[in-house]
Structure formats: C-alpha cells, structure tokens
Amino acid sequence: MHKLDNIFNVDLDTFEQQVIQASHQKAVLVDLWAEWCSPCRVISPILEKIAAEFHDTLSIAKVEVDEGDNMKLAGHYKVRGFPTLILFINGEEAGRFSGAKPLSFIREFIDEHCCH
C-alpha cells in the first residue's frame, strides 16, 4: 500500500500540535502501540485501510510507546494495554478502544463518533 499523508508518527514533543491542535480541523485517531505487541502488528494494515477510506475527515497518528518519552503519553491517558486507540475531536478525547479489532468494528467506531 502506498504511503498516505493522513497517517503519520508523533511523539511526546509533537503530540500537542499534531494531535490536540490538529483535531480542531480534522478528527485524529491516535494509535498507541509497541513493536513487541502482536495485536499492534495485526491492526496496522487495518488502520491503513481506515486512513484511505476516511482520508478527507480523519488522520491517524501513531505513537510508538517505547521510543523516547512516549510512555509518558500512555501514562497521561491511562493506557492499560496495547494497542489502544483514542479518537480526538476539537482537542478532546471523543472515544477509545483497545486491542486488535476488525475493520468493521473500527469503521463503526469512527462513524459513531465522527467522520460519516
């Protein structure tokens, strides 16, 4: 699959601008994941499909929790397991789920919270 411009990596330093501030223009789904996490690898290609499908209304920000100070973000948002996906709209958390979910679940989650 080709690289989509609405799926990108963020870290502790860029989170405020690329997620919180950006979510005032377009919903941002944050994927908190870890390299060692099997379900994280399972959900990654599904998120690429979601990014393509909701290209105009949704961005996906990926946070590798084991890099740099990124675990502080996981702690701040009280993440208990990986992957955890948190949807931000207008600077606020609008919903979240954990674990590798099928495409249909994620599509319904997004439709329910935003981005029809």
What's the confidence (pLDDT) of residue 115?
75
Q: What is the pTM of this model?
A: 0.95
- Structural domains in the chain plus CATH codes: 7-113 (3.40.30.10)
pLDDT, tens digit only, all 116 positions of the chain: 447 899 999 999 999 999 999 999 999 999 999 999 999 999 999 999 999 999 999 999 999 999 999 999 999 999 999 999 999 999 999 999 999 999 999 999 999 999 76
CA max distance for the chain: 35
What's the confidence (pLDDT) of residue 1?
43
What's the confidence (pLDDT) of residue 116?
61
Alpha-carbon span 49 to 47, nearest angstrom: 5
Which residues belong to the active site?
37, 40
What's the confidence (pLDDT) of residue 21?
98
DSSP states of the chain as a string? Answer: -PPPTTEEE--TTTHIIIIIIGGGTSEEEEEEE-TT-HHHHHHHHHHHHHHHHTTTTEEEEEEETTSTTTHHHHHHTT--SSSEEEEEETTEEEEEEES---HHHHHHHHHHHS--
